[in-house]
Amino acid sequence: MVGCAVVVSPDDPDATGSIVGDSIMQAEASNAAAAITSAPRRRSHIVVVAVVCVAIASALRSSAPAIGHIVRHRSRPYEGAKAEESSVYAARMERAVAVEPECWRRAGLVAAVEAGGTTVVPIEDATALIWADPQNPQLLPETVHDGLDWVQLPYAGIEPFLHMLDTKRIWTCGKGVYARPVAEAALAMTLAGFRNIVAYARETSWSGPVGQNLHGANVLILGGGGITEELLPLLAPFGCTTTVLRRSATPMDGASATATLDELDALLPAADVVILALALTPETEAVIGARQLELMKPTSWLVNVARGGHVDTDALVAALEAESIGGAALDVTDPEPLPDGHPLWTSPRCLITPHVANTPEMGLVLLADRVTENVRRYMANDELVGPADVAKGY
């Protein structure tokens, strides 16, 4: 069944009409055409007749493969349609999201997908995957299939998944998702170190005064990502001089200065606290070693909320034992978990938290918000938030 309407122009008595669209039965085409032919033509009237046009029906039938092409190939919109409209249409028709594997986080992430405007499907029917279990990355390769064009990873750090990533699909991670709670932890650890809370908490008798102010301190931050973006406003009320080291010396809002990692050794002697908030890559592994610890002031603290691999652990133990730095506050260690009996556990100048700057319970709520946002974008064929750079490793 195909339909159209014919408009007879008052300025052209011989006009046969133009198609403006509607639908009636194809069988009525000849009768309707005859009615138009026999009707008296008047210049002052427009005769609109609904008629099925066999030629148009044939044209539409011949164009059916092209119309189907919109649905089958969402990445290549129908040539005769607006790209934006056809891609959104295709996305809604084809795109489907799975949440795997089964674990305690899955229910929350399923709800996040549904809040993004779609339902969760079995993995074999999915074109996108939300990976729910960061503790079991080894299960990912057997879950991913060729029909997936997007995979959302749960953490900002992608080291456990890095060897699995490819360029066949888009990979997104939790980049920036956990920045706020981790920045809060970095501030808390800095204050705990400066105020000697680490040592005082272990005392069994009254002791003498020890401490220094964060107000007006020189803060050196390694990394210019989401954690640093959240940390700089937290430091602002303390009137700190903040220097951020990143891949390029591009200015960063809230920072007093920016520089590159190549300038680390030159800047360490003036730092009152060195905060590690950068991605772990081959270039940043053991970025704080024996030489860097020797360059730090005897009162300077090292705070690590990034990855344990950024610090040469043996060199750090030696520096703490020699009292060549003020102390270290570590949310991450190398190795991790830190073994029982390791000398860092009993060092009076070392504060250790078991990688809880962002707890799983805190993180699930934040990850769910990111999943909802990215599912909305995915279904609308928009750019996704937090893409992982496979080449750079973060």
Q: Any catalytic annotation for residue 361?
A: no
Q: Which of 41, 106, 169, 355 is catalytic?
A: 355
Q: Any catalytic annotation for residue 94?
A: no
Buried-exposed string 195-233: b where 16+ CB fall within 10 A, e elsewhere: ebbbbeeeeeeeeeeeebebeebbbbbbbbbbbbbbbbe
Q: Which of 307, 310, 349, 370 is catalytic?
A: 307
Q: Which of 28, 159, 336, 373 is catalytic?
A: 336
Tokens describing residue 215: 């107000």
Q: In the β-sheet with 150-152, what is the strand arrangement from edge to edge?
A: 97-100, 128-131, 150-152, 170-172
Q: Any catalytic annotation for residue 102?
A: no
- Which residues, in sequence order, are CB contacts of 107 under 8 Å at separation 6+? none
CA 262-267-311 angle, to 5 degrees, is 70
Give me the long-range contacts of 380-386 (CB less than 8 A, separation at least 24): 380/88, 380/91, 381/74, 381/87, 381/88, 381/90, 381/91, 384/150, 384/170, 384/172, 385/172, 385/176, 386/172, 386/173, 386/174, 386/175, 386/176, 386/177
CA 187-250-184 angle, to 5 degrees, is 10
Q: Which residues are catalytic?
A: 307, 336, 355
